[in-house]
Every structure is written in C-alpha cells, then in structure tokens.
Amino acid sequence: MIEYIIAKYNYWGYILLMMIGFYAMIGKKNLVKKLLGMNVFQWAIILFYVSIASKKGGATIPIVMGAHGHYEPAQAIQFLNPLPHCLMLTAIVVGVSTTGVALALIIMIHRRYKTVEEDEILESLEAFKK
C-alpha cells in the first residue's frame, strides 16, 4: 500500500489542484472568480503533463553539455523527455491569450450591465423576463 501511494502521489496532488479550480468555475457567482478558477484548472493540467516527463536514475535536463568542443553522443537514458516540455510551451501561451480576451469581455459586460454578478445579469436580460 505504501509503495502504491509513493508511486502515484504526484497524480493525486494535481487532481486536487484541478478540483479546486473546477469548484471555483461552477460554484461561484462572480465572473472574475470564475475566470480565475479556469486559470487554476489550466495550470494544473500543464503541471500534470510536465510531471510525466521525468525519469528516475539520475536523468538530467535536456541540454547537451560541452557541445561546442568534444562531447560524447547523447543516450536516451541520460536525459529527461523533452517532448511534453515543448508541447506545454504552446499550452501556456494559449492560456495567457484566452485570459486576456476574457478580461476584455468582462470589461465590456460591466459597461453594459453595470454589474459583474451572474444572477443580477440574468435578471436583467430580456430573454429571461416572463
């Protein structure tokens, strides 16, 4: 049982962070708090992918040292897996762009309805009036 927990506790930690962001997205009424919940959810997924890339047994960062002089050919067991790092750079940048556009939309909603709470906005929409 103890070996099972030690082998997988990184996945459980990131699932806890994901569920904190998920509760903020569906359980809060303020629009800015929902947006911050989405941001926490995104960062939990990015960290989860980066933690898959590690290797035990003395693997080091994926940069070949001494490459401009005499170096020995790189072996796959000595270095970390660089592929999830490369994919998550794209994911970070997409997250930043989404947060920027969402903040601009919240400013426009505040100008039109004078409030940022979700239930007050739903009351003043014409489609929901009986």
Partner 1 sequence: MIEYLENIIIRTLCRFLIPFIQLFGLYVIAHGHGSPGGGFQGGCILAASFILILVTFDLAEAKRRFSEKLNNFFNSFGVFIYAWTGWMCLLLGGNYLDYGKLSQILPVDPVKARYFGIFSIEVGVGITVMAVMVSIFHDLITGGKHEEVSE
Partner 2 sequence: MKILAFIATLMTGALLIYATVDFPDWGDPNSPASLHVSPRYIEKTIEETAVPNMVTALLADYRGYDTNFEETVILTAGISVIMLLRRPRK
Interacting residues with partner 1 (CB under 8 A): 61, 63, 67, 89, 92-93, 100, 103-104, 107
Query: Which one of residues 30, 32, 60, 74 is an interface residue with partner 2 (CB under 8 A)?
Result: 74
Residue 48 tokens, joined: 């989860």
- Residue 48 near residue 19 (C-beta atoms within 8 A): no
Query: Which one of residues 27, 32, 114, 120 is an interface residue with partner 2 (CB under 8 A)?
Result: 27
Cα–Cα distance, 126 to 130 (Å, whole number)? 9
Cα–Cα distance, 119 to 117 (Å, whole number)? 6
Cα–Cα distance, 93 to 46 (Å, whole number)? 11
Q: Is 33 in the site for partner 2 (CB under 8 A)?
A: no
- Residue 115 near residue 32 (C-beta atoms within 8 A): no
* 48-67 binders of partner 2 (CB under 8 A): 51-57, 59, 62-65, 67
Residues of the shown chain interacting with partner 2 in the complex, contacts defined by CB under 8 A:
7-12, 15-16, 18-19, 22-23, 26-27, 51-57, 59, 62-65, 67-68, 71, 73-77, 79, 81-86, 89-90, 93-94, 97-98, 100-101, 104-105, 107-108
